[in-house]
């Protein structure tokens, strides 16, 4: 079976080996056992049910919460030569009937449905389908404790009871312990094996900035985006109004963007999401309603304009960046107004105590003085013993000390209360507080009563937060928020491991200014070695229009990067590239290999800066793409074009400016003196034509006049 799985992986998906515990999960499913799969965004969850779907006889039913997610996955499967379709509310009756007929005739390997469509179908046509496996994607939606609760998911248990002879696999990228319990219980899974992959996403750069003045935050975000010109990114906002304000601001700075929120019509939301997926709109300013159904692999950055309401949501949202494994940036801004707003929202809920506690954990993460990756992984019960070196805390390390004794005192206090006490009670116990609770519960008689009296209440708060952050203790959200000791914590309590803590004095010294002294996230300039990568991207874009699929479904950036590095020129070499299967070789192989075979590089390494720009132009790159590759402004690239025109180089001027723009500049040149000063043109045109284009038009007019 393992050999069959590997051969299918290569044939259809183009990969020669499984990642992490994919192979174990697939073996479990092939043995017809239920499973719960926790795997981070971009970790390869879909492979875990798509491979068994191709091995089993019959159709695999995939329950997925969003139409856009279904369409993405079905497009990707069809692109790989796998028969797949979906049934949802966006289809007309004719389309729906055709898909149902295919499924009834056993001509589909995978059928995607939303839970809303699934429930009524269980009484009718779904009974005629030979179902071999059921996969429940985004399974955390079944839990009231989860951040995306969907009541329809709770009815999936009916299907589980009906199809008792086939395996069910529940998959999610974010679920804490309480949510995992709900997934097993409310889906009616039968003794499922739980597979927890590492939640580490080392390619994500984590940076947080607190309490910035609004003007400074705007400047920092504009600088951040301009340094990544042309890259896809998402700005998450707390309110609809903020999404519109940010989009308007970006567009006013010639940064193309759109906004997305639940107040837009379904048609408009679908249009914006499609434009983003197809790389036509690089930036979306959105509420958290956006992104759950997006499989786009080349999102290069995610910004949070406000503090998220919990770590699960934050982790899922930043996980939309860098799904292809290439370096990507995440940036979070927060202030205490965010905390107040989110607290007010939580107070309106019947489970407000849990929501407030989860918000507090999010704030503790934002204000942390220890490696941020450690905190994220500890939240999902994963121990990460080193510092990641790819977060703002690691880049600006705090003063640390051996905190083992402090940790052992706290852990001992938790242990002696039988793990039946919350944060403040443990602190009062450690400090020997003479309160009613201490005496009524007999805590004053415990050996740990008062053993931490040398530290203030705030100091203990600071150190307990760190113990949570590094995974020694956990909060039981389903048990009155009591503190529990993890296995890692037990090993520290027993003296088997020592730990480092940040000194409390570091918190005293910390202020909004010091919080924001992080190293620049600007990428280093890319070399000319990436020219081929650019040409491959241009071809991918062209083919995506021809085949009417998103560019990343043809090939991911990571696959194109490997092509650019290894330059495959034969079918065998092309198949060896990760992400190239037999169907994609047949469909796209010759096009990509033709670009690789005909690729021309500049012959001299020490070309002048204008010659490098000229070479890039000759290789088909646009002004925008050249500025990104060279880490230069578009205005500078336009000045290179002007110089190249003066030198007599062949430049197709109307690839960069319109005839109308040239005529407008010509008309103004008769009135403006001195004729070559750019600012008067810019002001006369109210900024409608940018400086670089004005310069290029003037040069063109002068060169034409001299000929």
pLDDT band at 549 (very low <50, low <70, confident <90, very high): confident
Predicted pLDDT at 603: 47
Predicted pLDDT at 606: 40
Q: At residue 527, does pLDDT exceed 50?
A: no
The average confidence (pLDDT) of the chain is 86
Helix (H, G, I), strand (E, B) or coil at 499: coil
Distance of CA 595 to the CA centre of its chain: 31
pLDDT digits over 33-43, tens only? 999 999 887 77
Q: At residue 32, does pLDDT exceed 80?
A: yes
Cα(524)–Cα(528) distance, integer angstroms:
13
Cα(97)–Cα(615) distance, integer angstroms:
53
Q: At residue 609, does pLDDT exceed 80?
A: no
Contacts of 464 by beta carbon, 8 Å cutoff, 6+ apart: 410, 423, 426, 427, 473, 483
Instruction: Give the residue with greater pLDDT, 174 vs 666.
Output: 666
Predicted pLDDT at 693: 87
Average pLDDT over residues 130-156: 83
Output the CA torsion sign for 386, 388, 391, 397. Answer: positive
pLDDT digits over 284-313, tens only? 999 876 655 567 888 999 999 999 999 988
Three-state DSSP string of 441-490:
CCHHHCCCCCCCCCCCHHHHHHHHHHHHHCCCEEEECCCCCEEEECHHHH
Cα(644)–Cα(627) distance, integer angstroms:
16
Look at residues 336, 329, 339 and name the one whose alpha carbon lies nearest to residue 392.
329
pLDDT digits over 442-499, tens only? 999 999 999 999 999 989 988 998 898 888 998 887 788 899 999 999 999 999 999 8
Topology (CATH level 3) of domain 528-597: DNA polymerase; domain 1 (1.10.150)
Instruction: Give the residue with greater pLDDT, 607 vs 55.
Output: 55
Predicted pLDDT at 592: 93
Average pLDDT over residues 107-112: 95
pLDDT digits over 202-258, tens only? 999 999 998 888 889 999 999 999 888 888 999 999 889 999 999 999 999 889 999
Predicted pLDDT at 339: 83
pLDDT digits over 268-278, tens only? 988 898 889 88
Cα(627)–Cα(638) distance, integer angstroms:
10
pLDDT band at 148 (very low <50, low <70, confident <90, very high): low
Give the residue extent of every domain in the chain: 2-196, 204-351+365-383, 400-502, 528-597, 609-706
Contacts of 478 by beta carbon, 8 Å cutoff, 6+ apart: 145, 178, 181
pLDDT band at 514 (very low <50, low <70, confident <90, very high): very low
Cα(279)–Cα(541) distance, integer angstroms:
8
Q: At residue 511, does pLDDT exceed 60?
A: no
Contact 649, 614 (CB under 8 A): yes
Cα(322)–Cα(282) distance, integer angstroms:
15
Angle at 234 between CA 231 and CA 235, to 5 degrees: 125
Instruction: Give the residue with greater pLDDT, 642 vs 144.
Output: 642
Helix (H, G, I), strand (E, B) or coil at 132: strand
Measured CA distances, 611 to 530, 597, 618, 629, 646 (Å): 16, 23, 10, 14, 13
pLDDT band at 68 (very low <50, low <70, confident <90, very high): confident
Contact 651, 644 (CB under 8 A): yes
Phi, psi for residue 286 in degrees, rounded to 5: -145, 155
Q: How many residues in total does the chain contain?
A: 707
CA dihedral 634, 639, 645, 649 (to 10 degrees): -60
| Range scoring the smallest mean pLDDT among 513-517, 543-547, 564-568, 620-624 | 513-517
> What is the distance between the terminal CA atoms of the chain, rounded to a whole angstrom?
74
Predicted pLDDT at 419: 93
Output the CA torsion sign for 491, 495, 499, 501. Answer: positive
Angle at 195 between CA 194 and CA 197, to 5 degrees: 150
- Hey, what CATH class is 2-196 in? alpha beta
Phi, psi for residue 676 in degrees, rounded to 5: -95, 5
Angle at 230 between CA 228 and CA 235, to 5 degrees: 70
Predicted pLDDT at 555: 93
Tokens at residue 655, please? 């690839």
Predicted pLDDT at 541: 87
What are the beta bridge partners of residue 257? 283
Cα(563)–Cα(597) distance, integer angstroms:
12
The helix (H) or strand (E) run that includes residue 502 is strand 500-502
CB atoms within 10 A of CB 603: 7
Topology (CATH level 3) of domain 609-706: Arc Repressor Mutant, subunit A (1.10.10)
Percentage of the chain beyond pLDDT 70 is: 92
Cα(671)–Cα(664) distance, integer angstroms:
12
* DSSP letters for 158-185: HHHHHTTTS-EEEEES---HHHHHHHHH
Q: At residue 21, does pLDDT exceed 70?
A: yes
Cα(330)–Cα(318) distance, integer angstroms:
6
pLDDT band at 147 (very low <50, low <70, confident <90, very high): low
Tokens at residue 270, please? 């679908």
* Identical fold between 400-502 and 609-706: yes
What are the beta bridge partners of residue 136? 63, 170
Q: At residue 691, does pLDDT exceed 80?
A: no
Average pLDDT over residues 77-83: 93
Q: At residue 117, does pLDDT exceed 60?
A: yes
Output the CA torsion sign for 339, 345, 348, 353. Answer: negative
| Range scoring the smallest mean pLDDT among 25-34, 314-323, 558-567, 674-683 | 674-683
Predicted pLDDT at 507: 58
Q: At residue 506, does pLDDT exceed 80?
A: no
pLDDT digits over 119-138, tens only? 888 888 988 899 999 999 98
* pTM for the structure as a whole: 0.70
CATH 3.30.70.260 is the classification of domain 204-351+365-383? no
CB atoms within 10 A of CB 120: 9
Cα(425)–Cα(624) distance, integer angstroms:
58
Contacts of 598 by beta carbon, 8 Å cutoff, 6+ apart: none
Contact 243, 260 (CB under 8 A): yes
Cα(55)–Cα(589) distance, integer angstroms:
26
Q: At residue 687, does pLDDT exceed 90?
A: no
Pairing of strands 232-236, 283-286: parallel
How many helices (DSSP H) and strands (DSSP E) are in the chain? 34, 17
Return the CATH number of the domain spanning residue range 400-502: 1.10.10.10
pLDDT digits over 355-409, tens only? 888 898 999 899 888 899 999 998 888 888 788 889 999 988 878 889 999 999 9
Helix (H, G, I), strand (E, B) or coil at 35: strand
Is the link from the previous residue into 179 a cis peptide, with omega within 30 of 0? no
């Amino acid at each position: 079976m393992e050999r069959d799985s590997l051969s299918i992986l290569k044939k259809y998906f183009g990969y020669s080996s499984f990642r992490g515990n994919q192979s174990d999960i697939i073996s479990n499913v092939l043995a017809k056992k239920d499973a719960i799969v926790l795997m981070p965004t971009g970790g390869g969850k879909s492979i875990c049910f798509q491979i068994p779907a191709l091995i089993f006889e019959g159709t695999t039913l995939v329950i997925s919460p969003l139409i856009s997610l279904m369409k993405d996955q079905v497009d990707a499967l069809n692109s790989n030569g796998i028969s797949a379709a979906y049934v949802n509310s966006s289809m007309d009756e004719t389309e729906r009937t055709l898909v149902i007929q295919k499924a009834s005739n056993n001509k589909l390997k995978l059928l995607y449905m939303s839970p809303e469509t699934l429930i009524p179908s269980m009484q009718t046509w779904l009974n005629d389908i030979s179902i071999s496996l059921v996969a429940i994607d985004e399974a955390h939606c079944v839990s009231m404790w989860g951040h995306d609760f969907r009541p329809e998911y709770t009815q999936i248990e009916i299907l589980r009871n009906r199809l008792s002879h086939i395996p069910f696999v529940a998959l999610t990228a974010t679920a804490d312990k309480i949510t995992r319990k709900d997934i097993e219980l409310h889906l009616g899974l039968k003794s499922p094996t739980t597979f927890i992959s590492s939640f580490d996403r080392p390619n994500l750069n984590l940076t947080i900035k607190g309490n910035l003045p609004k003007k400074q935050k705007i400047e920092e975000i504009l600088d951040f985006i301009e340094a990544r010109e042309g890259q896809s990114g998402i700005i998450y906002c707390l309110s609809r109004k903020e999404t519109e304000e940010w989009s308007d601001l970006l567009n006013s700075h010639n940064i193309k963007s759109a906004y997305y929120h639940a107040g837009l019509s379904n048609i408009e939301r679908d249009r914006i999401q499609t434009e983003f997926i197809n790389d036509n709109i690089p930036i979306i300013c959105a509420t958290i309603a956006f992104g759950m159904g997006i499989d786009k692999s080349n999102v290069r950055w995610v910004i949070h304009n406000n503090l998220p309401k919990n770590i699960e949501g934050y982790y899922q949202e930043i996980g939309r960046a860098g799904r292809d494994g290439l370096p990507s940036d995440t940036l979070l801004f927060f202030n205490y107004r965010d905390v107040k707003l989110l607290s007010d929202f939580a107070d309106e809920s019947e489970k407000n105590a849990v929501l407030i506690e989860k918000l507090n954990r999010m704030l503790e993460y934002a204000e942390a003085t220890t490696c941020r990756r450690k905190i994220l992984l500890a939240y999902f019960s994963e121990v990460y013993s080193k510092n990641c070196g790819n977060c703002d805390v690691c880049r600006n390390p705090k003063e640390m000390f051996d905190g083992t004794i402090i940790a052992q005192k706290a852990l001992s206090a938790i242990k002696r209360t039988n793990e039946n006490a919350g944060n403040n009670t443990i602190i009062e116990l450690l400090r020997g507080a003479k309160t009613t609770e201490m005496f009524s519960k007999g805590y004053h008689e415990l050996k740990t009563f008062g053993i931490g009296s040398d530290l203030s209440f705030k100091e203990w708060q600071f150190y307990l937060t760190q113990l949570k952050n590094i995974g020694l203790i956990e909060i039981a959200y389903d048990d009155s928020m009591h503190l529990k000791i993890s296995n890692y914590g037990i090993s520290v309590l027993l003296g088997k491991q020592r730990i480092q803590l940040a000194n409390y004095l570091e918190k005293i010294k910390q202020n909004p200014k010091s919080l924001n002294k992080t190293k620049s996230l600007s990428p280093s300039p890319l070399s000319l070695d990436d020219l081929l990568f650019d040409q491959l991207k241009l071809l991918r874009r062209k083919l995506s229009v021809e085949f009417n699929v998103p560019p990343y479904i043809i090939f991911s950036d990571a696959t194109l990067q490997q092509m650019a590095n290894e330059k495959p020129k034969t079918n065998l070499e092309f198949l060896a590239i990760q992400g190239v299967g037999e169907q994609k070789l047949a469909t796209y192989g010759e096009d990509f290999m033709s670009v690789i075979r005909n690729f021309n590089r500049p012959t001299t390494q020490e070309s002048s800066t204008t010659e490098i720009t000229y070479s890039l132009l000759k290789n088909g790159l646009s002004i925008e793409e050249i500025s990104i590759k060279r880490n230069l402004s578009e205005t500078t690239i336009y000045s290179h074009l002007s110089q190249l025109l003066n030198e007599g180089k062949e430049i197709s001027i109307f690839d960069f400016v319109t005839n109308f723009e040239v005529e407008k500049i010509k008309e103004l040149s008769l009135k403006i003196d001195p004729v070559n000063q750019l600012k008067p043109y810019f002001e006369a045109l109210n900024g409608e034509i940018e400086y670089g284009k004005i310069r290029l038009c003037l040069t063109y007019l002068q060169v034409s006049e001299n000929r």
